[in-house]
A and B are shown apart, each in its own frame.
Chain A
Amino acid sequence: MTLIQKARLKSLWVMHFDCGGCNGCDIEVLAALTPKFDVERFGIVNIGDPKQADVMVLTGPVNHRNKRVLRNLYDQVPDPKMVIAVGTCACTGGIFHNCPNILGGVDKVVPVDVYVPGCAARPEQIIDGVVLALKKLAGEAPEEDE
């Protein structure tokens, strides 16, 4: 493992985008940054700029109005990048799945690496999801539990 690959696993900048959910998952994402969970001790920082992000954390179901925005943001994140869908809505569309204006989960628009289900997903689960994304980034096969 080269030095840059090693650094990649220790410095994950997260961009968080809400595709139009109820904000429940967004609050849980931000709760992971509070002193109780403090993800910054693993080098994980919440960042607003897609050009400097490594991981996209997406919440909420995709609709026809924001699919273009989501695709644009995804294209602006330079490789290597990871996409984590947080919450049931982002994974499958959730309770909105059969609404006429909803496409479904975020994987209808961008390729998703890690799914974190839950309504709302708990901060512990979100951190687990990020750890899974880190393993995928390191090239390890994910464990077969759950």
Chain B
Amino acid sequence: MDYTATLISAMLALVTPLIGGLLMGVDRKLTARMQERVGPPLVQPFYDVLKLWGKVPMIASGLQPVLAFGYLGFAFVAAGLVTFRQDLLLVLFVTGMADICLTVAAFNAKSPYSYLGGRRELLAMLSYEPVMLLAYIAIFLVTGSFTIRGIYEYGAPLLLVLPAALVALEIVLVIEMKKSPFDVSGSGHAHQELVRGVFTEFSGYTMALVELGHWTKLATALMILSLFWAPSPVIGGAISLAMFFVALMVDNLYPRLTWQRMLRTTWTVGFALILLNVAALAVGGVIR
């Protein structure tokens, strides 16, 4: 990789949290419009994080700030891995580490709400990570490589060969964004779930760090989805933004379901979509 490409990747990794923050603003604005409200300004998430940063710290346990930094750190490393076109499996595991930091921080405080939120966050991971893994294996079967560079070198858009896998990843996106119907572990806006679920014990700057980590994770997830039209970042970006919009529509259309329904949906519909896609490709002779 030459010098300019490295520089662009580094710049892109640095602005990932900011892109995520703007997307959260778009989320709040669009949600408000869908509910026939005016909605907050586009930069509202930035106001929120600045305000949280300025609050007097109230730390629930000694380990909590470290784990909050860990959540943001791992999310940021995952974003860097994507912009530097590294291994998709590594991205999955590093994002998983970020989530583990969040759940351990939730377990660390002596609060039943945060504890239940942490358990539900683990269940959410149990729901979406196998589907993501299967989708990446399907990408490997098509392109012959787990790396993002391999997807770029494949040439043809992945959407044309793996359309059902993208639908499965839409379900994953809804869970990752903590949106209805799968916002069991803690939800945004003015929704409440077990007080604030996994975020209950965070306050002040630790909550600001968790928010930043959440923005980074959202932007990273959308960057990975844009790989489905890898040859053109513009069309890829449009696809991922369309999926973001669909997730918001789903959020406003459906009530919250139980975690059992979440697990059942991903482990049946998600698995079936990807496996059928791969089977169709094998029959069609695209993969051997």
Contact = CB atoms under 8 A, between A and B. Distances in A.
Contact of A45 (B36, B53, B190): B190
B190 A7 contact: no
A11 interface: yes
B203 A51 contact: yes
Given A35-B35, A48-B192, A49-B195, A7 B204 contact: no
B44 interface: yes
Contacts of A42: 40
B195 A5 contact: no
A78 B47 contact: no
Contacts of A35: 35-37
A41 B189 contact: no
Contacts of A45: 189-190
Given A49-B200, A52-B207, A54-B51, A78 B39 contact: no
A43 interface: yes
Of listed A3, A8, A11, A13, residue having the most chain B CB within 10 A: A11
B206 to A, nearest CB: 10
Interface stretch (B11-19, B54-62, B214-222, B258-266): B54-62
B58 A40 contact: no
Interface residues of A, number: 28
Contacts of A41: 32, 37-41
Contacts, number: 91
A57 B60 CA distance: 24
B201 A51 contact: yes
Contacts of B28: 40
Interface in A47-86: 47-49, 51-52, 54, 76, 78-80
Interface in A85-113: none
B115 interface: no
Given A4-B51, A4-B54, A5-B54, A11 B44 contact: yes
A124 interface: no
Contact of A43 (B36, B47, B54): B47
A47 B44 contact: no
Nearest to B200: A49
A13 B189 CA distance: 10
Contacts of B57: 78
A52 B39 contact: no
Given A11-B48, A78-B203, A78-B204, A40 B54 contact: no
B199 interface: yes
Nearest to B36: A35
A52 B36 CA distance: 27
B50 interface: yes
B149 interface: no
B241 interface: no
B252 to A, nearest CB: 13
A47 B199 CA distance: 12
B199 to A, nearest CB: 7
A11 B200 contact: no
Nearest to B189: A45
B13 to A, nearest CB: 24
A40 B55 contact: no
A136 interface: no
B58 A78 contact: yes
Contacts of A5: 54
Interface of B: 28, 32, 35-41, 44, 46-48, 50-58, 60, 189-190, 192, 195-196, 199-204, 207
| A-B complex: 6 closest residue pairs judged by Cβ atoms | A7-B50, A4-B54, A51-B203, A11-B47, A38-B37, A48-B192
10 contacts: A10-B44, A11-B51, A13-B48, A40-B37, A41-B38, A43-B48, A47-B196, A48-B196, A79-B55, A79-B56
Interface of A: 3-8, 10-11, 13, 33, 35, 38, 40-43, 45-49, 51-52, 54, 76, 78-80
